[in-house]
Amino acid sequence: MPKLSLTHFEMAIVFALLTSIVLGVVTKKTDKERLRYGLQTFGYFVVALFGLAWLMYLGHG
């Protein structure tokens, strides 16, 4: 099997997506709440990803 090589951004997005699915499934009580929480969690991951990326970019000088 050839070694998979993704960028930091792609890997972080895939990680966020898969983690959000499970967090949505196990956390809330109704399907509507689960879907909402999963999307919300994914959104938080993406915001944190861009926030930290900018922080590192600006901190690096």
The answer to whether residues 23 and 38 touch, using CB atoms and an 8 Å cutoff, is yes
Kindly tell me which residue out of 9, 13, 21, 51 binds another protein, with binding defined by CB under 8 A: 21
Kindly tell me which residue out of 9, 18, 33, 36 binds another protein, with binding defined by CB under 8 A: 18
Footprint (CB under 8 A) of another protein, residues 24-43? 25-26, 29
Site membership for another protein, residue 1 (CB under 8 A): yes
The answer to whether residues 42 and 25 touch, using CB atoms and an 8 Å cutoff, is no
User: Please, is 24 exposed, middle or buried when counting C-beta atoms within 10 Å of its C-beta (0-12, 13-18, 19+)?
Assistant: buried
Site membership for another protein, residue 6 (CB under 8 A): yes
